[in-house]
Amino acid sequence: MALVRWEPFRELAALQNEMGRWMNQLAGGVGAPPGNGQSSTWLPAVDVWETDTELVLSFDLPGIPEDKIAVELDDSILTVTGERERTQEHSSDRFYRFERRFGQFSRSVTLPTGVKEDDIKAEYKDGVLEIRVPKPDEQKPKRIQIGSEGAVEGKSTRKSSS
């Protein structure tokens, strides 16, 4: 008799994953069976972290050619879109499981106000899209003169962070 180590958290994660797939198949949404001739939508995994000088986003996009990926910035919202195409149909083969997603995706991240589009750098290597966004300079409150003659000057009520 062999001893098998039981890992309850791994079992729970696998069960949760399977339940999610079943629910999506019932709803006909993300994760619908690929044999139905339609592509599905999916969301790539993304890691986000910051350094002292920049915000870094790292998207997992294996199997997607660079020309099928678009990165756009619109009103402080960075959006990455693309498409993973299904390579071929295997009608004579028996498949027991379909886990790899295909179809179009779109993932958006809100960036801090003041980010300049020209300062953003993106690099795609080995199926990973890494986007580096320099942190904008912190905006300081500006003193606005009250009245036309400048007799009264407004005072800033915000505390300075420096």
Reading phi first (left if > 0) and then psi (alpha if -120 to 50, else beta), residue 96 is in alpha
Which domains can be identified in the chain, with CATH numbers? 40-85+100-138 (2.60.40.790)
Residue 92 has pLDDT above 50, yes or no: yes
Greater confidence (55 vs 161) lies with 55
pLDDT (tens digit, 9 = 90+) per residue, 93-140?
676 666 777 888 899 999 888 888 999 999 999 999 999 999 988 777
Residue 80 has pLDDT above 70, yes or no: yes
Residue 35 has pLDDT above 70, yes or no: no
Average pLDDT over residues 38-42: 60
Residue 161 has pLDDT above 60, yes or no: no
Greater confidence (59 vs 158) lies with 59
Greater confidence (147 vs 89) lies with 147
Average pLDDT over residues 74-94: 80
pLDDT (tens digit, 9 = 90+) per residue, 63-78?
899 999 999 999 889 9
Nearest by Cα to 136 from 70, 71, 57, 50: 50
CA 29 centroid distance within chain: 19
154 three-class SS: coil
Q: With beta carbons less than 8 A apart as the criterion, state whether 86 and 38 touch.
A: no
pLDDT at residue 12 in the model: 72
